[in-house]
Amino acid sequence: MGMTEQKRILLLGGTGAIGSRVAPELVRRGFTVHITSRSPHTSNDSRIVWREGNAKDDAFLDALLSERFDAIVDFMIYTTESFAARCEKLLNATPHYVFLSSYRVYGDNGETPITETSPRLLDSVDDPDYLKTDEYGLTKARQEDILAASGHKNYTVIRPAITYGGDRFQLGTMEANEFLVRALQKKAVIFPKEMHDRRTTMTWAGDVGKMIARLVLNEAAYGETYTAATAESRTWGEVLALYRSILDMRVKKVPLSVYEQAVGRRWQIKYDRMLHRVIDNRKILSATGMKQSDLMPLSEGLRIELYEFTRKPAFRTVDGAMQKRFDAAVGSADGREPGLLGMLHRVNAYRKNGVLVKVIKKKLYRIAPLRKAVHGVKRLFHR
């Protein structure tokens, strides 16, 4: 593949954990990279050009596409309807369109490693309530189908597994601004007991960036699909242990139902994190000339990235309501429900254990207001 500095690559929405690693890799391979962002950026490298604007705005996008880039790498999150409306435009605007899908399109493969031909949720799940949604795993699969039905062959589909780095870290279905903010504030983090032994695959963003950069304008990748991931898998319990060893993080294990009530994301829990996610990455390693030994081990990568993150915490907006639900879940796990309800439950527990009887027999029972209160509590729990 001939590479010259005149080759221009457009990254749509390339400011996240993966996109920020793809850009310098493309520069190292001889390309000039244009990156869209809704926020202003400055560049110290003439080969990285920032294009300020919203890539979901048709006028802004049309103006960009009129410049005719040699390849487009699309990190944008679309609804199925909005992607269908612009798919043809994107495919016609460049010799190579790289679409970022997700490993979450895959169905339940058990503990058998997932390959690019493994069944997708869209094709294998018989759950009408789920299938009528536009949940992330279904959305990406439907957008892949739109590409396949387009009649074009100048696209590549990339399905990254869970990717960490920068300000992006995951624990179960929680992101950095949800669980790391608590860990750094010395608050307990909740985790579902039932997820503990499920296997997951977490890949360093730098490695995924290298994989994507090596597929750009690689003609052998046209019309192909790749899962971008390491082959190293861990149980969520092992991932949790790594976080705890690095951050001294306190954890409260709760039932899955309590976790789901606090965090939400019902479908992601059921059709992703509660499935075993083990990846066979031989296809992408072969296409990019990489080896598994080239990839960052999870224990080392998390330690490096968390060290950088904790030096300059870059939390996005913290959901206060969710944090209150986390507090309630931790309190429940400790047997300390907040408020009047928690007090009444504790009194009832004392009654069952005979503690209340002992208190009643004490001299304080002779004090009329206290005696009246005790009788009131007893009547409440004997109804």
Q: Tell me the pTM.
A: 0.84
pLDDT band at 4 (very low <50, low <70, confident <90, very high): very low
Q: Which of 261, 252, 258, 250 is nearest to 187 (CA)?
A: 250
Q: 223-256: buried (b, 16+ CB within 10 Å) or exposed (e) per residue?
A: ebbbbbbbebbbebbebbebbeebbebebbbbeb
pLDDT band at 151 (very low <50, low <70, confident <90, very high): very high
In the predicted model, what is the mean pLDDT of residues 144-166?
A: 97
At residue 272, what is the residue type?
D
Q: Given a cut of 60, is residue 346 above it in pLDDT?
A: no
Structure tokens at 354: 């005979």
Give me the pLDDT at residue 205, please: 97
Question: What pairing do the DSSP bridges indicate for beta strands 234-235 and 199-200?
Answer: antiparallel
The DSSP-derived string for 192-228 is: EGGGTT-EE-EEEHHHHHHHHHHHTT-GGGTT-EEEE
Total Cβ atoms within 10 A of residue 80: 16
Residue-wise pLDDT for 356-380, tens only, equals 555 555 555 566 666 676 666 556 5
User: Which residues are registered as beta bridge partners of 251?
Assistant: 189
Largest CA-CA distance found in the chain, in angstroms, rounded: 94
Measured N-to-C along each axis, helices 136-148 and 80-92 cross at an angle, to the nearest 10 degrees, of 40
Q: What is the mean pLDDT of the chain?
A: 89
CA-angle at 86, arms to 82 and 89, nearest 5°: 180
Residue-wise pLDDT for 210-235, tens only, equals 999 999 999 999 999 999 999 999 99
Give me the pLDDT at residue 44, please: 85
